[in-house]
Amino acid sequence: MLVVGAGPAGAAAAFFLADSGATVALVDGARFPRAKSCAGWLNAHAVRDFPFLDAVRRKVRAVPFRRLLFHSPDLQATARYSSRSHLGYIVSRKKFDAAVVRVAADAGAETFLGRKVVAVQAAERNVTLTLASGRRLVGRLLVGADGAAGIVARSLGLRERWTDQQVVVCLAKDVPLTRKQSADGFDGAIHVALGFGGASGYAWAFPGAGAVNVGIGIRATEAGRLPSLYDAWIEGLRGKGMLPKGADLARPSGAVIPAGAAIEFDNHVGKRTILVGDAGGFAAAATGEGIYPGIWSASIAARSILEALAADRGERKGTTCQDALLAFRSEWRCEMASYLQMPNVNLAFLLPLVFTNRQIADRFARAFLFGENL
């Protein structure tokens, strides 16, 4: 069993499979820990649904938050949502991703890190990965978890690229904070400016352990506005006294997220292959949230793969290996589609009401945080 990509989706898939007794090779071109441009938002539902993540978030000292503060697009109005329980956690992706890889390895997955995959071939009975070193790895099945521009989908003809309408482009940077700034400037809340600058996306400031991740994400169709919107968001935060005066916010890191792209994509399953995480477009359309949906997609894929392996061994009469894999198409849609898709409401009409109507603000917050319907 081969898994390409050791981010949260791939490492989680390797864990689920190895923990169920499968022989797993987890392959990634990077060595972990490695830097990753991401706001680092771990949904509280992820910890609830996947118990292994509770140990991971404790190990990496994830910072919990119980409040969400919405800012209006012009930063003149705010609306607060609070909870007695944790709404989520802010994690360092560098630490978090490495910890999930370790969980997979501890469950029995063999890791091949710093090993770039340069070719993928799917045959009738197996899948072969060719590494940059020339070494080949052969497995019965393959999980493609190698990101939005991964080699697996391209090599197997499942997808050439995502369109501009399907992806969100982001600029973000971690800014170190003093203890006083962490306590006073953010008040234990994450900050979100929906529709900032009139763009189709939002700006954020997510305080974690000793740092705050600040950034903005918008649809790629408006990508030309991204640098100026990022600068304007930084100036807005400075004006509110939420950032250190001497902080270097130049040269932010960029990222591309296939937000909600899974909904309009039908090629998650290829010959002996399933795509999960960003490789399959499993990020929430409204928020670009990827950790929870990625791990969620991996858990569903693991179920289909275990059935496929059993069919390959002749233990499922009347079911072929490929039939078992194809079940992933309907199962993920049944479980995840409502979470991933955009709310079926007029957001432009409702957004101003967030700052004047407490009930609407609460509904927006729960939609943002937990994918609930507006």
pLDDT digits (tens, 9 = 90+) for 202-237: 999 999 988 899 999 999 999 999 999 999 999 999
The terminus-to-terminus CA distance of the chain in angstroms comes to: 40
- 8 or 246, which is more confident? 8
Mean pLDDT of 317-321: 89
Distance of CA 192 to the CA centre of its chain: 18
Number of residues that make up the chain: 374
Q: Residues of CATH 3.50.50.60 domain(s) within the chain? A: 2-40+92-162+259-340
Q: Residues of CATH 3.30.9 domain(s) within the chain? A: 66-84+168-257+344-370
Name the 3-class secondary structure at 94: helix
Q: Name the CA radius of gyration of the chain, rounded.
A: 21
pLDDT tens-digit profile of 103-135? Answer: 999 999 999 999 999 999 999 999 999 999 999
Find all residues with CB under 8 Å of 336, minimum gap 6, and list them. 262, 282, 293, 296, 297, 300
Quickly state the pLDDT bin for 50 (edges 50, 70, 90).
very high
Residue 184 has pLDDT above 80, yes or no: no
Mean pLDDT of 321-338: 97
Give me the residue label for tokens 């902080």.
247
CATH number for region 66-84+168-257+344-370: 3.30.9
Give the start-end residues of each E strand in 132-252. Answer: 136-139, 142-144, 168-176, 189-194, 201-207, 211-219
The pLDDT score that the predictor gives to residue 94 is 95
List the single range of 167-176, 263-272, 345-354 with lowest mean pLDDT: 345-354
Quickly state the pLDDT bin for 183 (edges 50, 70, 90).
low
Residue 198 has pLDDT above 60, yes or no: yes
Determine whether domain 2-40+92-162+259-340 maps to CATH 3.90.1170.50: no
The pLDDT score that the predictor gives to residue 245 is 79
Amino acid at 92: S
